[in-house]
Chains A and B, each alone.
Chain A
């Protein structure tokens, strides 16, 4: 077993800070999973020298400053992007620009990029807004926080979403509409798109709060066409310009290509006439015309780079196997032919031409595409953009490379957590069974384990380990087996990935021995892999420690479990580690609950839910134990309605992975609630184990025995109840107290008190245990007729229980207690929380506010205190009723109340008003 010190040193080396409370980096300049955000996505595209500014369009676009929504909608190559880019550059403040990703981005990814685009444009966004940690979804509260932030701005922020037609998810349209509505004038959204977006445009049109520039307006007039051709050095008479516009329908890309083709021809005017008479598709014809006028080297380069979303000269050289890309690309951009400059020496093909060039590539060089993808993947792997390297590796169908790149980068944890996990799962779902390297086997194992398919996962894992060991034996004579080279970390990264999956498998099967072995191996391997890779992938260490901690918890080693879990809970790392942090906070909450500390358990469970909310973690992605702990805490407070609510929410979550700890937590919460309702039979049935484990867990066994003993007691068999608890392993305080109570009921007060006396202070038991023990002592004293001792014990129990609102033990104690609580001074101690009556002054029984209220939430709260209605508050703050409701919900949650009056009262108690 590795001790705390060992784990600390392992974590400290990888940039895990302590006491940072998981708030993430102050200025996130890299995206949550470690790859640098691609600057080119936020760059306003540069205009070529031949760009023609058309005043009528710029004037129309100026209206975008006055309407919340603007749509520039036109065919590919209609000149939308350059129009908006030119207009945006002329603003007196930075514009947040985001070019949508190819391949239909999903909501989480979309919003992560949009937040980054806002920050790149200098819009100050507090860290509390959070960031999606799951590519497929974004939490509504994140949008609310963003809207609140934007609504508070003096001047609206201008946001341009270019190539919005690539975004087809209806949720994103709905979320943008939500943000637009709730930002209340704090944002001007400009959508540049080929297709009609799914926002409720009719409503915006009817309200007159939308600016619309469509294809017909973007089309060049004959006059404009003549000026454009003039910029290309061609003088055309008016009738020729008119004919050209008729032939191209004023299509910007057509005119541009036409100018390029005509300029190269000996007699431009005759050429234009010939084009008029052509019957081919405009883009197809013109592109072929312009292409065939280029040098063979240029043609070859254009066709080859068409497989890339963006490229720099070096990458283009790799694809052409020549060294002339820089000159060719500069020339093409100067000529405004095909390529656009993205800044920082990166280029892209105009999307329309890229598509057509790719079609030409397939016809001219069938079979070359996969080769180009593979070369691009290898270059991208070296230059450090893993996500793109994986994409091209998969497009080449080279799974040995793709899985190898993932494992060598120590990125295998991204299959479980972080923004990339869904994309990676989708990418590797295309991998067939043919390739069997250790890396492909590990990816298969990870995918199987994340579906909780243990048999398949372990088969692949063992296969990977055997192959790896075989390779090392063969390589051993040279003594190079463990060498990390500059190209990669060598087999150490693969072994470390094995250790992570071993730890996960151990956790899922409840095998503490295997988890310790895996963690020990991981600790040694972490010494041999490059430190920058570990720093780049904090999720690997975080997941490993979360699995280790959870398995230790299952085995009942609470302190060792806490050591590992606290490291994860306190680590920074933003969205990449959000899932293991939420997981670890939930486990720490369970430990506190099992030790009898309800308030602490509740705070940690709430912190886990806050992490899940801030990062929009889907309920199905983790193990989700936080709600179960809250349910169990609510049972001990005798709030069965709340407990049922938490249990229902936990049942709805349907996590993909089930581990014995979570299932035991579910069992405890459910059975204790059924016991509190008096349904002993159902409680007994609920304790049937749901997940098999290799090793029995002492606390899980203890709680099962407690439920069974309660059933025996209820049916008048105290002997059997005591016997059952006596055989529970591990001297657990909670079982000893249960046994003492059974002994007392069986008429053996001496034996009961002996059991309690043996409980030392070293048991670290909290009020949920000590209060029950005091009540057993009180009952024993009552049986002995010592009324002074009875009062002393009950008074002490009340004092200890009051802070935690621990009501259940008093309900369990039996009828002898009730009359006592009606006598002074016990009446005063019980009033207001256990029995009706005014609460004693100065007693703050609720947990402190977990999260600070935002400025806007205080505004709403202050008006609430003035007895204003929701509508009045909305009018007063110039926001919508829905926004006020959203703020109210969040205020209620933060203050742990359900009603307006309670919120005001609670806020006064906490001096927030």
Chain B
């Protein structure tokens, strides 16, 4: 399944590299991380990673395949 996670602010290279399995695109005032997600455990793991890096999740949604 594919997901996108929109977080507040533009991420530095160091922070986007903390999500090596996802692609990202910087927008005005936020960053969209997107890509293939293995299962629910992976999804929750990504959310926990966002939290531990101090990122604010604005939106998260499943993308059509």
Contacts and interface: CB of A to CB of B under 8 A. Distances in A.
Interface stretch (A206-214, A348-356, A514-522, A721-729): A348-356
B51 A285 contact: no
A57 interface: no
A543 to B, nearest CB: 36
Contacts of B18: 355, 358-359, 362
Interface stretch (A17-25, A274-282, A382-390): A274-282
A281 B8 contact: yes
Nearest to B27: A279
A283 B51 contact: no
Contacts of B56: 75, 281
Contact of B31 (A281, A283, A362): A281
A279 B7 CA distance: 12
Contacts, number: 73
Interface majority SS (helix, strand, loop, mixed), chain B: loop
A194 interface: yes
7 contacts: A195-B51, A281-B8, A282-B8, A288-B12, A355-B52, A360-B14, A362-B14
A351 B53 CA distance: 9
A854 B55 CA distance: 52
A279 B17 contact: no
Nearest to B53: A355
Contacts of B13: 363
Contacts of A77: 54
Interface in A352-384: 352, 355-356, 358-360, 362-364
Contacts of B7: 281
Contact of A284 (B11, B29, B51): B11
Contacts of A359: 14-15, 17-18, 53
B45 to A, nearest CB: 11
Q: Categorize the interface residue count of chain A.
A: 20 to 34
A280 B53 CA distance: 13
Contacts of B10: 279-281
4 cross-chain pairs, A with B, having the tightest CB-CB distances, nearest first: A281-B9, A283-B54, A359-B18, A360-B14
Interface in B1-41: 7-15, 17-18, 28-29, 31
A195 B53 CA distance: 14
A359 B49 CA distance: 11
B8 A351 contact: no
A334 to B, nearest CB: 23
Contacts of B54: 75-77, 253, 281-284, 352, 355-356
B17 A284 contact: no
A150 to B, nearest CB: 32
Contacts of A285: 9, 12
A281 B11 contact: yes
A75 B11 contact: no
Contact of B9 (A195, A279, A356, A358): A279
B53 A356 contact: yes
Interface majority SS (helix, strand, loop, mixed), chain A: helix
Q: Which of B7, B11, B14 has the most CB of A within 10 A?
A: B14
A325 B14 CA distance: 25
B56 to A, nearest CB: 8
B43 to A, nearest CB: 14
Q: Categorize the interface residue count of chain B.
A: 20 to 34
A818 B48 CA distance: 75
Nearest to A254: B54
A364 B17 CA distance: 11
Interface in A117-176: none
A284 B53 CA distance: 8
Nearest to B7: A281
A360 B17 CA distance: 9
B52 A284 contact: no
Given A194-B51, A285-B9, A351-B52, A356 B15 contact: yes
Contacts of A363: 13-14, 17
Contacts of B28: 279
Contact of B53 (A283, A362, A364): A283
A352 B28 CA distance: 25
A281 B15 contact: yes
Contacts of B52: 76, 351-352, 355
Contacts of A288: 12, 14
Contacts of A194: 51
Contacts of B14: 284, 288, 356, 359-360, 362-364
Interface in A276-300: 279-285, 288
Given A194-B51, A281-B56, A283-B54, 4 more contacts: A281-B10, A281-B12, A288-B12, A351-B52
A355 B28 CA distance: 25
Given A356-B14, A362-B17, A280 B51 contact: no
A284 B15 CA distance: 7
B16 to A, nearest CB: 9
Contacts of A360: 14
Contacts of A364: 14
B39 to A, nearest CB: 16
Nearest to A77: B54
A357 to B, nearest CB: 9
Contact of A283 (B17, B29, B55): B55
A364 B54 CA distance: 20
Interface string A504-522: 0000000000000000000
B7 to A, nearest CB: 7
A163 to B, nearest CB: 11
B8 to A, nearest CB: 6
Given A359-B17, A360-B14, A362-B17, A282 B51 contact: no
A281 B33 CA distance: 14
A290 to B, nearest CB: 13
A75 B14 CA distance: 21
B9 A76 contact: no
Contacts of B29: 279
A76 B51 contact: yes
Interface string A252-282: 0100000000000000000000000001111
Contacts of B11: 280-281, 284
Contacts of A75: 51, 54, 56
Q: Which of A281, A358, A359 has the most CB of B within 10 A?
A: A281
Nearest to B17: A363
A194 B53 CA distance: 12
Interface in B40-65: 51-56
A101 to B, nearest CB: 15
Q: Which of B12, B28, B31, B55 has the most CB of A within 10 A?
A: B12
A195 B56 CA distance: 14
A194 B11 CA distance: 22
Q: Which of A77, A284, A285, A356 has the most CB of B within 10 A?
A: A284
Nearest to A364: B14
A80 to B, nearest CB: 13
B20 to A, nearest CB: 9
Interface in A66-91: 75-77
B55 A281 contact: yes
A76 B55 CA distance: 9
A363 B12 CA distance: 11
